[in-house]
Homo-oligomer: A and B are copies of this chain.
Amino acid sequence: MTKAPAERRHRARWDAFALIVLAAVAGCTSRGPTPERAVGDAASPAPTAQQQADDAPPAAAADPLRSWNAGDAKDAIVAFVARVTRENGPDFVPPAERIAVFDNDGTLWSEQPMYAQLAFALDRVHELAPQHPEWRVREPFKSVLAGDTKKALAGGEHAVVELIAATHAGVTTEEFDAIVRRWILTAHHPRSGRPYIEMVYQPMLELLAYLRANGFKTFIVSGGGVDFIRPWAGDVYGIPPEQIVGSRAKLKYEVRDGVPRIERLPAVDFVDDKAGKPVGIQEQIGQRPIAAFGNSDGDFEMLEWTTSGPGPRLGMIVHHTDATRESAYDRDSAIGTLARALDEAPKRGWVVVDMKRDWKVVFSFEAQ
């Protein structure tokens, strides 16, 4: 039977979202629940950008981009900000139009060895398992519970769709917010053993603060779920919920037993990746950014849309070149594939940040 066009579009949205998550298959290490991820194991939250600014010694505070080494990337940022903020200058941009957009995974925090949101989904399976005895014999849940992530995700898109539906839906938006808040404070990154919120890039925190100090509004435009990022982005990045754009589940407002609620449905409403990023930007931000920061081909269209407007524009790609301090990957990686955007960066004037060369520190905890 031939599917109706709208049905096919609906299915296509699921597939697109599943593909984003599936990219995480490669490089996944088998993992079960470990003591450090147990609920209640409260970790100290990472210092916020503001706290870090407050704590900085006076000498270091003189350079707002102190974790950036001198070089082309740092120069490009400083020169761009100087151009657009110089009043009466030929390239002056009024503050209302100083819109900067940032991808999240791989641009503001680590995405290797797997997206944090997938780690969250896998942890949720463990947490919800007691209420789902049938999962003990049903894939992909059976393999997740056995700690075999690779086998769990071997079911492809269908497996991912099942995992996301089972772990991201069937709760209200406020319940989901609380679940994410609890997880982000207690879960630990599988390689560093650090809380996820410490896996943010110190140079990018400084860049966010530097842009805001110069009248920019900073936005996240992520392929990840918007409701997975919003609960902690205020504390960690200094970015309020309405300035986070991401992929979305379908939502339904209803009054149940006299109590108004917004339910998360097991259906994908919007995939904010690739050509979806400019659409998400227009829908939610409503104007074309003048600066865009990404790290993968999923950010290509966002960079293209941002930098093809008139006047001064800044497009920047974080290139993961540092296997010692973080990870080294680009065109052959299933997560954060970077090929076309890297190839076209020179002719498009996009600045490539060489993480190893351009960043004095990657994570704030390195200095400890």
Binding site for B on A (CB under 8 A): 3-7, 9-10, 96, 173-174, 217, 219, 226-227, 230, 234, 240-244, 248, 251-255, 259-260, 262, 269, 275-279, 282-288, 301, 304-305, 308
- The smallest beta-carbon distance between A269 and chain B, in angstroms, is 8
List 24 A–B pairs whose Cβ atoms lie within 8 Å, in order of A's numbering: A3-B4, A4-B7, A96-B240, A174-B288, A217-B242, A219-B242, A230-B287, A240-B286, A241-B285, A242-B284, A242-B285, A242-B286, A248-B283, A252-B275, A253-B275, A253-B305, A254-B275, A259-B308, A260-B278, A260-B305, A262-B279, A262-B305, A283-B284, A284-B284
Q: Which residue of B lies closest to A283 (CB)?
A: B248
CA distance in complex: A197, B262 (Å)? 34
Max chain B CB contacts within 10 Å: which of A174, A226, A278, A288? A278
- A262, B282: Cβ atoms under 8 Å? yes
CA distance A198 to B108 in the complex (A): 44
Q: Which of A260, A262, A283 has the most CB of B within 10 A?
A: A283
A243:B242 contact, CB within 8 angstroms: yes
CB distance from A235 to the nearest CB of B (A): 10
Q: What's the Cα separation between A260 and B277 when bound, in Å? A: 13
CA distance A196 to B244 in the complex (A): 32
| B7 A230 Cβ-Cβ under 8 A | no
A301 touches B253 (CB 8 A): yes
Q: Are A286 and B6 in contact (CB under 8 A)?
A: no
| Residues of chain B with a CB closer than 8 A to A283's CB | 226, 248, 251, 269, 284
Q: Which of A174, A255, A282 has the most CB of B within 10 A?
A: A282
- Cβ contact within 8 Å between B286 and A226: yes
Copies of this chain, count: 2
Q: Are A304's CB and B242's CB within 8 A?
A: no
Q: A4-B6, A6-B10, A260-B305 are in contact. Are A282 and B251 (CB under 8 A)?
A: yes
Q: How far is the CA of A305 from the CA of B253 in the complex (A)?
A: 9
In the bound assembly, the distance between CA atoms of A304 and B256 in angstroms comes to 13
The 9 closest A-B pairs by CB, nearest first: A241-B286, A6-B6, A4-B4, A253-B278, A253-B275, A6-B7, A251-B279, A230-B286, A242-B285
Residue of B nearest to A241 (CB): B286
List residues of chain B with CB within 8 A of the CB of A279: 251-253, 262
Chain B residues contacting A6 (CB-CB under 8 Å) are 4, 6-7, 9-10
How far, in Å, is A2 (CB) from chain B's closest CB?
Answer: 10
Distance between Cα atoms of A4 and B96 in the complex (Å): 44
- Bound Cα distance from A345 to B127, whole angstroms: 42
- Which has the most chain B C-beta neighbours within 10 Å: A3, A252, A262, A285? A262
Q: Chain B residue with minimal CB distance to A304?
A: B260
Contacts of A173 in B (CB 8 A): 282
Please give me the residue from chain B that is nearest to A242 by CB atom.
Answer: B285
Of all chain B residues, the one with the shortest Cβ separation from A269 is: B283
What CA separation (Å) do A276 and B252 show in the bound complex? 8
Residues from chain B with a CB closer than 8 A to the CB of A275 are 252-254
**Is A308 in contact with B260, judged by CB distance below 8 angstroms?**
yes
**Alpha-carbon distance A163/B255, docked complex (angstroms):** 35
Q: Taking CB as reference atom, which chain B residue is nearest A255?
A: B304
CB atoms of B242 and A242 under 8 A apart: yes
> Once the chains are docked, how many angstroms separate the CA of A74 from the CA of B234?
33
Chain B residues lying within 8 Å of A174, measured Cβ to Cβ, are 288
